[in-house]
Amino acid sequence: MALTGVEIFKLLPKTNCKKCGHPTCLAFAMKLAQRQASLDSCPDVSEEAKRVLGEASAPPVRPITLGAGDKAVKMGEETVLFRHEKKFVNPCVLAVEVKDTLSDDEIGRIVEGVLSSEIDRVGQKLRVDALFLSNASGDAGKFESAVKAVAAKAPAVPLILSTSNAAAAEAALKAVADRKPLLYGADESNADAMAALAKNYKVSLGVVGKGLDALSSLTEKIKGLGVEDMVIDSGARTAKEIIENNTFIRRAAIKKNFKALGYPVITLAQRDDAMLEMLVASLGVAKYSSLIVMSSVEKWKDLALFTLRQNIYTDPQVPMQVEQKIYTIGETSAESPLMITSNFSLTYFILSGEVENSKVPTRLAVLDCEGLSVLTAWAAGKFTASKIAAFIQESGIGDELKNKELIIPGYVAILSGSIEEKLPGWKITVGPREANGVPAFLKSR
């Protein structure tokens, strides 16, 4: 559990020498407790204090990186149970299973689906992050060749090697260890051998225990064998088991600082029914899975899951926003219209989509409103005539236009008079209220 300011203070030199930039050791301790300062700032702190504080400040859910290079993904480091308390940290990794019993063609199709899964949404690039290679055949040779085939076809995608057979695991690791795969396969029967492999090949280890009690003992044993980077599986497969075990794991890690379960959770969500699979994966997204394995790639399913993951993992305090500037959509000329809106990503995303639909080249002035929607920003005094006028004037956009005309959102029609006053020489036009009215509006001008 995190230490309080007073507990931290007891470990400091108590000389109030100010070298840390704080007036007293107590003040510094308070900042440390709020995680707003780093212990390194105090040059005189004892080794003992470093050890105690280091342990206490380790994140309750261990950070684990899957893969290497550009497409590597981080898991873990979560600090809360509910997203309104604080931002969920590392968006869960979505993976698709490839069985080594599949034909080359089938394997090729899944890998192709994963490679082409990337889409852009509200300015973020989203994709199926990883491939889960399973040793369904039970045969070490088959596994090795499937792993090699997939690795060649998808040179950058992070891999999860799923086998409980140490010989199969070693053969696969020899081929792809430098890609930092997750070796998923330590259980009660093979823990020693798997831990030795994870250690030798410097990869993280997936640990499967039947139930949370067995799982805790197993992670402790494996830690004792010198492997620290683990991803855990409690054996939960049904939605009921997943919500129960994931809740207990997250609570134990965060509220009790229970180290034996302080690791990212892997959830196997595969179902024959793709819609149900999407729902079970959604449960993982909302309720604490860090790595979710699915059986297939369908673009519609991916889009829904990417979007849900984005919704759940946005910062509840800071809405997603786009940069303040004047965007151009299409090949604009001096005659093209100029519209103004707020910098809430959702607003920008919906509006720019509709402008694109209209096929009318348009300039879109996006005003920094701290990520609030048009109406919310207006109500909060952040989408005001003065701010709009200042932005338009400072941008110098007027010089590029034949007619100085600014189109404002229909919901803030009330602003038109005061903007006209503050922007002499400009004509203010009130556009439609809803973005879906924008194509007709632009085309009819």
Partner 1 sequence: MAFVAPKETYAGKVFEVAIGTDKPVVFGGENVLPFHSFEGNVPSRPVIAFEIQDTAPDDWPETVKKAHAGVSGDPVTWAKHCQDALGAKAIALRLVGTHPDRENRSPEEAAKTVRDVLAAVTVPLIILGSNNVEKDSAVLVAVAEAAKDRNCIIGKAQEANYKTIAAAAMANSHKLIAMSELDINLSKQLNILITQMGFDKEKLITDPMCSALGYGLEYTYSVMERIRLAALTQNDATMQQPMLGDVGMYVWKVKETQAPEADLPQWGSLAERGIAWETATAGSLILAGAELLIMRHPEAVKAVEKFIDELL
Instruction: Please say whether the beta carbons of 397 and 365 come within 8 A.
Output: yes
Binding residues for ligand SF4, rule: CB under 6 A, are 12-13, 15-20, 22, 25, 28, 42, 44
Residues within window 197-216 making contact with partner 1, judged by CB under 8 A: 212-213, 215-216
How many whole angstroms separate alpha carbon 141 and alpha carbon 237? 28
Residue 432 binds to ligand B12 (criterion: CB under 6 A)? yes
Q: What's the closest the beta carbon of residue 13 comes to ligand SF4, in angstroms?
A: 4
Burial (CB count within 10 angstroms: exposed 0-12, middle 13-18, buried 19+), residue 84 = exposed
Q: What's the closest the beta carbon of residue 173 comes to partner 1, in angstroms?
A: 30
At a CB cut-off of 8 Å and minimum separation 6, what does 105 contact?
none
Task: For residue 434, give the 3-state DSSP assignment.
Answer: coil
Q: Which residues pair with 65 in a beta bridge?
A: 74
Instruction: Please say whether the beta carbons of 5 and 32 come within 8 A.
Output: yes
Residues within window 266-295 making contact with partner 1, judged by CB under 8 A: 273-276, 278-280, 282-283, 286-287
Q: What's the closest the beta carbon of residue 213 comes to partner 1, in angstroms?
A: 5
Which of 58, 379, 413, 414 touches ligand B12 by CB under 6 A? 379
Helices (H), 292-379: 299-312, 345-358, 374-379
Q: What's the closest the beta carbon of residue 252 comes to partner 1, in angstroms?
A: 5
How many whole angstroms separate alpha carbon 249 and alpha carbon 253? 6
Which of 346, 357, 404, 420 touches ligand B12 by CB under 6 A? 346
Stretch near ligand B12 under the rule CB under 6 A, chosen from 205-213, 268-276, 344-352, 415-423: 344-352
Residue 224 binds to partner 1 (criterion: CB under 8 A)? no
Residue 112 binds to partner 1 (criterion: CB under 8 A)? no
Q: What's the closest the beta carbon of residue 49 comes to partner 1, in angstroms?
A: 24
Q: What's the closest the beta carbon of residue 364 comes to ligand B12, in angstroms?
A: 8
The CA–CA distances, whole Å, from 391 to 187, 326, 413 equal 61, 10, 18
Give 228 or 400: the residue with its C-beta nearer to partner 1.
228
Which of 60, 264, 337, 371 touches ligand B12 by CB under 6 A? 371
Q: What's the closest the beta carbon of residue 83 comes to partner 1, in angstroms?
A: 6
> Where in 204-265 does DSSP place strands (E)?
204-208, 230-233
Residue 256 binds to partner 1 (criterion: CB under 8 A)? yes
Residue 258 binds to partner 1 (criterion: CB under 8 A)? yes
* 9 interface partner picked from partner 1, ligand SF4, ligand B12, none, CB below 5 to 8 A per type: none
Task: Specify the residue for token string 């006053």.
Answer: 421
Which of 167, 434, 440, 443 touches ligand B12 by CB under 6 A? 434
Helices (H), 179-237: 191-200, 212-224
Q: What is the DSSP letter of 432?
A: -
* 299 interface partner picked from partner 1, ligand SF4, ligand B12, none, CB below 5 to 8 A per type: partner 1
Residue 372 binds to ligand B12 (criterion: CB under 6 A)? yes
Which of 135, 163, 267, 373 touches ligand B12 by CB under 6 A? 373
Which of 103, 189, 238, 317 touches partner 1 by CB under 8 A? 238
Instruction: Please say whether the beta carbons of 98 and 88 come within 8 A.
Output: no
Residues within window 294-323 making contact with ligand B12, judged by CB under 6 A: 319
Q: Which secondary structure element, helix H or strand E, spans residue 160, and what is its range?
A: strand 159-162
Give 11 or 215: the residue with its C-beta nearer to ligand SF4.
11
Q: φ and ψ at 298, to 5 degrees?
A: -125, 135
Give 16 or 418: the residue with its C-beta nearer to ligand SF4.
16
Task: For residue 163, give the 3-state DSSP assignment.
Answer: coil
How many whole angstroms separate alpha carbon 115 and alpha carbon 110? 9
Q: What's the closest the beta carbon of residue 6 comes to ligand SF4, in angstroms?
A: 14
- CA torsion angle 417 421 426 431 (round to 10): -20
- Residue 59: CB atoms within 10 Å: 14
Residue 353 binds to partner 1 (criterion: CB under 8 A)? yes
How many whole angstroms separate alpha carbon 144 and alpha carbon 140? 6
Rule CB under 8 A: which residues touch partner 1?
A: 82-84, 119, 121, 212-213, 215-216, 220, 238-240, 243-244, 247-248, 251-252, 255-256, 258-261, 273-276, 278-280, 282-283, 286-287, 298-305, 307-308, 310-312, 314, 316, 346, 350, 353
